Amino acid sequence: MTALYYVLGVVLFVGAILVSIGLHELGHMIPAKKFGGKVTQYFIGFGPTVWSKQVGETEYGVKAIPLGGYVKIVGMLPPGADQLADETTVDADGNTVTRVRKSNTGMFTQLISDARAAEWELIKDEDTERLFYKLPSWKKVVVMAGGPTVNILIAFFIFWGVFATYGQKSVEAEAGPPVLDSVSVCVLPYAEEGRECTADDPRTPAIEAGLEPGDVITSFNGTPVSDWDQLRELIRGNEDGEAVIGYERDGAALTGTTSTTVEARPTSQTDETLTQVGFLGVTPTQRIVTETGGPIYTVREMGGMAVETVKALATLPVKVWDVAQAIVGLEERAVDSPVSIVGGGRLAGETVSHDTFPVTEKAVFLLMLIGGFNFFIGMFNFIPLLPLDGGHIASAVWEGVRRRIARLRHRPDPGYVDAAKLLPVAYVVASVMLVMGLVLIVGDLVVPLHLEG
């Protein structure tokens, strides 16, 4: 039965991601058609076609590799200055087809020319006024932003539903002078916390000061302590200095003397950035706090998520490199390393098949996992580099800006921005994305992350 639940979790997660991909592509297709553009294909997946159906001028279908999707909008690339129409023929259906003569003078030039020719080879005369590159700049932005915006909206509605009902649960110290819940025996690197102490691990300053669970901390270096947050900041700011700790045990006032040590620890509960700070080795008694909220609360929380996502995107290549090293056994895989859809499916399967998790918590974890993937996909696609949606958005914005400037300065219209000239960059970015994706998939198979507990 556990195996069946595991498969169910994987299927639910993968199915939800495929639905999200489909909705992402609808976010492109619907406004494109609304603005008069011609969409010839709408597919979920890549590779060989599993199923397709022609409806009007659009072919809808599913492909074998469920790692993305696409819509084919006619006329994404404008004709180049070095390309002139030199041949007009009639196809078997009686349609006039214009083919483009191309002149190649280098590898990148040829790549651009070939891509442009492939784009234009099957464009018919009646498509001339429906070409994507001829749309006003703001319409191009709407079309290209539609996909990732849908992903972010999916995440918003999932998060809103969870925050409004189940809420966000966090752990915080009990009010008042901190009562110690636990005292660490040895100093462990943050990434290794949870493992057993060895003879080589140094004892914590708390042990050297004689502290025990149940002790109430009343002062630190002569400063009266009123709560855990204050004590935490005093410890962190003490670095490796001497620490005189006042505390109560069974009603008796006692004093312990030690020296705090400097360790790399997270900046805060919400920021996993490691900072060198003073370390004592104690944990206060804590309570679970549940916070609920509506759409405004959700937007505020997603704002914080957006900041963390931007930071994660900035360090993504480094984290993927760390996963690659973990694959070959050079280091342990970090618990905060990125995962692919394979890793997400594994986590979903483990959640649903976990014996001790209540059904409500399983459902919440799955929803947050799906919402998190959608939020990341949306943010990732807004990166202003081709072939991502953000690259097309950036091109359209630049086109609108330079046309506006030309009008204000009474200059001739500079024309359309030629995104084809950025195709070499797109090929490099696509190659990097492919390699990173493969590394994460292999990592999720060889050194997978698992649920704690």
Please report the domains of the chain, with CATH numbers, ordered by start residue.
Answer: 1-11+147-167+294-453 (no CATH), 84-127 (no CATH), 171-289 (2.30.42.10)
Q: What is the pTM of this model?
A: 0.80
Q: What are the φ/ψ torsions at residue 307 (nearest 5 degrees)?
A: -60, -45
Distance in Å from the first CA to the final CA of the chain = 20
pLDDT score, position 86: 47
Q: What would the pLDDT profile of 182-211 be if each residue is shown by its tens digit? A: 999 999 888 777 788 988 889 999 999 999
Dist CA 97 CA 87 (whole Å) = 8
- CA torsion through residues 363, 368, 374, 376, sign: negative
pLDDT confidence of residue 401: 95
Q: What DSSP state is assigned to residue 26? A: H
Q: What is the pLDDT of residue 450?
A: 86
The catalytic residue among 25, 263, 350, 399 is 25
Q: What does the alpha-carbon distance between residue 100 and residue 109 come to, in Å, rounded to a whole number?
A: 15
**From CA 104, how far away is CA 100, in angstroms rounded?**
13
Strand partners for 291 = 168
Question: What pLDDT does residue 85 have?
Answer: 47
Q: Which two tokens stand for residue 319?
A: 């984290």
Amino acid at 30: I
Give the sheet arrangement for strand 252-259, strand by strand.
223-224, 216-220, 242-249, 252-259
pLDDT at 111: 66
d(CA 100, CA 88) in angstroms, rounded, equals 9
Q: Pick the closest to residue 343 from 75, 9, 102, 76 (CA basis).
A: 9
Amino acid at 105: T
Cα 102 from Cα 122, distance rounded (Å) = 15
Residues ≥6 apart with Cβ < 8 Å to 451:
347, 350, 351, 354
Q: Please, are residues 104 and 160 in contact by the beta-carbon 8 Å criterion? A: no
pLDDT for the residue 453: 45
Instruction: Look up residue 131 and give its amino acid.
Output: L
pLDDT tens for each residue of the chain, 453 residues long: 678 989 999 999 999 999 999 999 999 999 999 999 999 999 999 899 999 999 999 999 999 988 889 999 998 888 765 554 444 555 555 665 555 444 445 555 666 777 777 777 778 888 888 999 999 999 999 999 999 999 999 999 999 999 999 998 888 888 889 999 999 999 988 877 778 898 888 999 999 999 999 999 999 999 999 999 999 999 999 988 999 999 999 999 999 999 998 888 877 665 667 788 899 999 999 888 889 999 999 999 999 999 999 998 999 999 999 999 999 998 888 888 899 999 999 999 999 998 888 899 999 999 999 999 999 999 999 999 988 999 999 999 999 999 999 999 999 989 888 888 888 888 899 999 999 999 999 999 999 988 864
Single-letter amino acid code for the residue at 405: I
Q: Residue 98: what residue type? A: T
Q: DSSP secondary structure string, 175-224? A: SSSPBEEEE-SB---GGGTTSPP-TTSPBPHHHHTT--TT-EEEEETTEE
Catalytic site includes residue 174: no
pLDDT digits (tens, 9 = 90+) for 340-349: 999 999 999 9
Question: In Å, what is the CA distance from 227 to each residue of 44, 140, 174, 210, 215?
Answer: 54, 55, 8, 20, 14
* Placement of tokens 């006039």 in the chain: 96
- Distance CA(310)–CA(382), nearest Å, equals 11
